Structure 1
């Protein structure tokens, strides 16, 4: 049998490796990476100042204090800072800061100043760093996003990067309660931009959010007739019993295959144990992937609720739409792929996720602007006393955000 010998030369080896392993990641921008690492300290210092100030969604004084700190930082960068007073609970101001450039792209950054925490929580749990993690009320949701956004603007200012038409940072004061005082402002501002980058927390798996469900609430109210529960219960019309019936039958309005959830979360009925309740109410949390599912849920809600168990009771329903869906599409995919490539320069893998939670990026997307979020500091356990951020993610995430702004601006 004839033996055969193959000689594989070095260029062929390189070609085979490239074919098997895929293209190698580009080298990082060393000068920019150095800037990001040098900016870590000032970023954490600013983050401490923000975290140690209470700023719940209805805490006007606390939100004003945060806004004052942020406005001073932005004005030092030469940004035009405008305050827009909200009509929402607390009536705290929203901030819109704009830096003008010499290019064509109009880039919007978004973050929010409010937290879910109560007045006094910052004093009880001030900012601290422990075992490589950052702690404190709102440390990543979304004080970390604010600090990261301002630091990215500082780096761009230091290197003299102006290849954008405008770079805007919008800071919302009511995101945690559904953005009632800023929705119109976000829509109007988003429509004036080409892309929206939301600085919500990076996911625990070091991820971005590329699509979100829309959110809403369904309200079911029942009117019955009160009566003595022991003497003449049959003369009443039990609103609680009818509500229980409605909760059971309407709880099936979700559709798992379409990603629609319909979950009753609040129920109220009765005033005393010996009185047949005359009034009852339930509230359901509704999440949808597509806007047409809101229409379907609303239609089915009205039709199904007419099937009653308690005669002569009255049932009224309504669907309140809050955040629209942020759908996955070609434009958001392109943004995400660009972000993945940039993160790959650092030898890091950026995961891409969807979320059942809503955020202001959904409002921007609903206005027709491509949006991604989760560009803030990586962290987890948000909305809890154990909310944390990964200290080691600060410089890489700052590099990612700054490079993504630069690449988005150059692509216009």
Structure 2
């Protein structure tokens, strides 16, 4: 057996071990709900049609006209389902967050979250409209996250077709500014998450057909250096090179990352000087930090301040700043319990979910940070996220509809411990 084959076998073994930790309940899978799966399968053409309508509207974060158009379509679809629809300002972001609620006869309170904004500029939908090639649909935001919006709406429709009302309330929150850290929605997310028993986020399903059980939190990093200008050729010794000191600080502070703790520190933006023959008197470095443990932000913040005292160029002034963004969504016993339920449900279809973590943050981070039992990745399966090749797997529509609908039914019947 060659090295590549051995590596592949080891990789598969690790994946199987991780999957088995979440799928014990699926080994003796319950029978598939034939009625629900038939309805989910039959819904594919309508799901695809609504997805096409949403994808063909430019709704990049900041595109107020497009966001309002998408919001109006979602509101109309929700009202057809008998849901109460409320809009609220997303200031300081643009557009209006949508909250749709449906009352039932049970006790469970379930929050579904999705977002209508994309990373694409106005004109993208016209240049790359929705198209289908084989079993894949393409277009801006097709899986992130317009696919998630459509799956949420149709799961509620399937519940109504089956006359399932054994929940107290289902709430659908559709955010306008997730792609820029939800600055105009974070308070709303936290408030709603605290009012519900479980939060299911409709970010895209992972490429390997999985859910997200943990996400890293985020922080912005900044290093400011003050120096002294001088002629770079005539009297460089009279200056204090802020660019050189900033480079030194950037390199030493990058060591604050910790692979064992899944903490990353990456400096990504560097500004210094305007002319090559002038020693720069100021420099600015910005960076990105990700961590699964909130305590890591304190450690890195303190480490940056301590390292700022270790200067290479005397006479320069160095200051640092860490601005916390999204809190981590850690793997918890409640997350594991929800994941086991989802795995058992997918097992009814003879399918298995991968249970994955992500260095990317999402609205699930805020819900989890508010103390809610949270699971993510219930949207359409797809790939090439945030690129011109972004796609959604159309053959994932039926199983994903089945998964979300059955998950709602399951947590309605057997409440999630708070």
Q: Same fold (TM over 0.5)?
A: yes
- Contact 1:36–1:399 (Cα < 8 Å) also in 2: yes
Match of 2:102 among 91, 99, 104: 99
**Matching residue within 408, 411, 414 for 1:405:** 408
Q: Matches of residues 196-235 of structure 1 in structure 2 within 5 Å?
A: 196-235=199-238
Q: C-alpha distance in 1, partners of 2:383/2:309? A: 43
The higher radius of gyration belongs to 1
Shift of the alpha carbon at 1:231? 2.5
Say whether 1:324 aligns with 2:327.
yes
Matched residue SS, 1:315: strand
Q: Which residue of 1 aligns with 2:56?
A: 52
1:289 aligns with 2:286: no
Structure 2 residue corresponding to 1:85, chosen from 86, 89, 102: 89
- Contact kept, 8 Å, 1:237 with 1:313, in 2: the verdict is yes
Determine the structure 2 residue equivalent to 1:7: none
Q: How far apart, CA to CA, are the structure 2 residues paired with 1:76 and 1:303?
A: 58
Q: Residue 185 of structure 1 aligns with which residue?
A: 188
Once residues 43 and 279 of structure 1 are traced to their aligned partners in structure 2, the CA distance between those partners, rounded to angstroms, is: 54
User: Which of these residues, 27, 32, 38, is aligned with residue 31 of structure 2?
Assistant: 27
- Give distance in 2, aligned partners of 1:157 and 1:77: 8
For residues 306 and 358 of structure 1, what CA distance do their matches in structure 2 show? 32
Partner of residue 338 from structure 1, selected from 338, 341, 360: 341
In structure 2, the residue corresponding to 1:209 is in which secondary structure? strand
Alpha-carbon displacement from aligned partner over 1:39-94 (angstroms, at most 9, x marks no partner):
111111110011000111111111111111111111111111111101224x2111
Structure 1 partner of 2:8: none
Between Structure 1 and Structure 2, how many residues are aligned? 390
Superposition deviation, residue 279 in structure 1: 1.6
- Map 1:105-184; keep pairs closer than 5 Å: 105-184=108-187
Structure 1 stretches lacking a partner, 5+ long = 1-21
What does the per-residue CA deviation read over 1:281-331, in whole Å, with 9 as the maximum and x for residues that have no partner?
111110111111111111111111111112121111111111111111111
Secondary structure of the equivalent of 1:393?
helix
Out of 168-177 and 269-278, give the one that drifted further. 269-278
Per the TM alignment, residue 280 of structure 1 is displaced from its structure 2 partner at its CA by 1.0
Distance, in Å, in 1 between the alignment partners of 2:72 and 2:188 is 19
Contact 1:79 1:97 in 2 (8 A): yes
**Separation in structure 2 between the aligned mates of residue 62 and residue 313 of structure 1, nearest angstrom:** 48
SS in 1 for 2:121: coil
Structure 1-normalised TM-score? 0.93
1:165: how far off?
Answer: 0.8
Question: Aligned partners of 1:61 and 1:232: how far apart in 2?
Answer: 56
Please say if residues 223 and 279 of structure 1, whose CA atoms lie closer than 8 Å, have aligned partners that are also in contact: yes
Tell whether the 8 Å contact from 2:193 to 2:370 is kept in structure 1 after alignment: yes
Work out the CA distance in 1 between the residues paired with 2:282 and 2:144: 38
- Tell me the residue number matched to 2:23: none
Tell me, in whole angstroms, the C-alpha distance in 1 between the residues paired with 2:213 and 2:28.
24
1:66 match? 70
C-alpha RMSD over aligned residues: 1.1
1:394 aligns to 2:397 (yes or no): yes
Cα deviation digits, residues 134-192 of structure 1 (max 9, x gap):
10001100010001101111111222211111100011111111111111111111111
Shift of 1:23: 4.6
SS at 1:69 equivalent: helix
Task: Verify the 8 A CA contact 1:222 1:313 in the aligned structure 2.
Answer: yes
Given that residues 88 and 174 in structure 1 are in contact (C-alpha distance below 8 angstroms), is that contact kept between their aligned partners in structure 2? Answer: no
User: Matched residues in 1 for 2:27 and 2:388: separation?
Assistant: 43
Query: Does 2:362 correspond to 1:359?
Result: yes
Q: Quick check: 117-126 or 80-89, which moved more?
A: 80-89
Residue 232 of structure 1, CA deviation: 2.3
Q: CA contact under 8 A between 2:203 and 2:376: conserved in structure 1?
A: yes
Q: Distance in 1 between matches of 2:129 and 2:67?
A: 17
Deviation string 1:321-356 (CA, Å, 9 cap, x unpaired) is 111111111111111111111111111111111111
Deviates more, 1:310-319 or 1:143-152: 310-319
Q: Report the secondary structure of 2:60's partner residue.
A: coil
Contact 2:27 2:347 in 1 (8 A): no
Give distance in 1, aligned partners of 2:229 and 2:109. 60
1:220, 1:317 within 8 Å by CA — same for their partners in 2?
yes
